[in-house]
A and B are shown apart, each in its own frame.
Chain A
Amino acid sequence: MPLLEIRNVSKYFGGLEAVGNVDFDVDQGEIKGLIGPNGAGKTTLFNVISGVYHPTSGRVVFKGKDIAHLKPHAIAKMGLVRTFQATTLFNSFSVLKNVLAGYHLHSKVNFWGALFNTPATVKRERDIEKKAMEILEFMGLSKYKDELALNLPHGYQRALGISIALAAEPELLMLDEPVTGMNPEETMEMMGVINKIRDRAITVLLIEHDMRVVMDLCERITVLNFGKKLAEGPPEKIRKNKDVIEAYLGSE
């Protein structure tokens, strides 16, 4: 059974069809790519999956449960966590505190514990901080832990966005254009990170513009164009697909 199933999902804004009858799966443990030219409906589809929008029709099934009408926080709780295209961070928090905020899901909030700083609360906070530091270490951000998020260079901000999502301990991580605006070096680094994330038994669904990145990283790719599924398959097949080449380069 696939981890995530998108079944005939459509999303209309008024009369405009942003996503029409899209159908694909994400299997446990793979890196799956979702590509398409500008305005193909990738981000809309991401928003539908993560609960920002509800689909007009169709089903989104995660771990065998229909999540199409759940809110984002409930979806995150089930283990499906996303990052954002824009560098959406808790800007005036330190890097460490950003990740701590991401750990919300896995720590209980206790009013009396918070009020009197009970030993149990102190211990719990310390455990979470240790885990947060592990993530920063993993993402190569540990030396910036006290820096404010808004002062980080662009590439690190991206990495921090992913760190926050990892803190929520996802089973399926959705990355929205993780290498946009990065130089080739940063891009290579990010690709390494994404591979490492998969090695931690986290499934990855990735939207990306950069064809090279998608071709190198993903085992399977789904191509969207004008809100419809254009093609699906392994990178070699997509590379040779006539429709895809036409959509990206334009027809004569």
Chain B
Amino acid sequence: MNGNRVKSFIWLILVVFVFLLPAITRQDEYILHVGIIIAFNVALATSLWLLCSMGFVSFAHAGFMGIGAYTSALLFLRLGWSFWATMWIGAATAGIIACVVGIPLMRTKAVYFFMASWALGEVIKMMFALKYFRWFTGGWDGLFDILPPKLSILGLYIDFSSRVAYYYLAVVFAMAIVFIIYRLNRSRIGTILWSIHEAEILAEHVGIHLLRYKVLTFAVACFFAGLVGALYAHYHTFIYPRTFDIWVSEFSLVHVIVGGLSTVAGPVAGATLFTILDELLRPLGFYRVIFFGIILILTVLFLPGGLESIPGRIRSLVRRFLK
């Protein structure tokens, strides 16, 4: 009971800090930029973690993020639709495609799923680059001028091309995604997903329709990835196929593993720390990936539960010390 209250308190402080960050930093453009990237990475890693909780490691996640981004960007650029509609259509497109592709894909297991999802991610990326559709999707050159949205409600006019406004937009969506996935994980649905992770055959024999849950979970995770993609596209205003390279899925997976798999705090902590580290190591250029590799290996060897297991480890150390 007490532990739960402490946890809620920590989350509350975190949320307040995130909301006050623009004021604390006097609207420092660079820090807010990093904040926005953290929000994207946290949302992406958390949606990937939802799949991990069912025992699936997907490398197609960046691809589905791309589907959301491209759908939203194309509707905005070619048809002139409002971002507030296109972002949802983008996310829904990612979810629906995941649902259809998931029916064969989610029948595979373990390392076969791993390879199949990898291939799927690459195929999606190549689809964006197709020469035949270059007039439409921009080929390898990508899409430009995907402008941030504007909003006027209740006499209030917000232009999201301002850094602060977009920061709040990204942060609110990231928090909503984390909250939804947290609630799902704590509910009966979460129990079912973890039971599939633990012992698929037993789950099936107490009446859990494996394929239905696997496909729906994949669709939900990819819906959120698509949502992040749409937010990403309208922030950077430029996307091209490499934006959704397999690297993005891999980094997201590293965030989840280093953060820890057992609760939603894992991907949140992992994505936050890694994004900050990535920024600090930026002068090293592409060599910083080496550090990520080293940290990943060290985590797996010495901190198997990830960052989220640290408080528990400290607690048991203290208890042993007091004895």
Contacts and interface: CB of A to CB of B under 8 A. Distances in A.
Interface residues of B, number: 22
A90 B194 CA distance: 9
Consensus secondary structure, chain A interface = helix
Contacts of B29: none
A93 B205 contact: no
Contact of B205 (A72, A89, A100, A109): A72
Given A88-B199, A92-B198, A117 B183 contact: yes
Contact of A115 (B180, B194, B203): B180
Interface in A79-107: 81-82, 84, 88-93, 97, 100-102, 104-105, 107
A101 B207 contact: no
A111 interface: yes
Contacts of B206: 76, 81, 101-102, 104-105, 164-165, 167-168
A94 to B, nearest CB: 11
Contacts of B208: 73, 104
Chain B CB within 10 Å, residue with most, of A84, A111, A116, A168 = A111
Nearest to B205: A72
Contacts, number: 87
A135 B184 CA distance: 26
A93 B189 CA distance: 15
Contact of A82 (B184, B188, B192, B205): B205
Contacts of A43: none
A101 B192 contact: yes
A89 B188 contact: no
Given A81-B205, A92-B198, A93-B198, A73 B184 contact: no
- 3 A-B pairs with least C-beta separation: A114-B187, A76-B207, A105-B207
Interface of B: 180, 183-184, 187-189, 191-192, 194-195, 198-199, 201-210
Interface of A: 50, 52, 71-73, 76-77, 81-82, 84, 88-93, 97, 100-102, 104-105, 107, 109, 111, 113-117, 121, 125, 164-165, 167-168
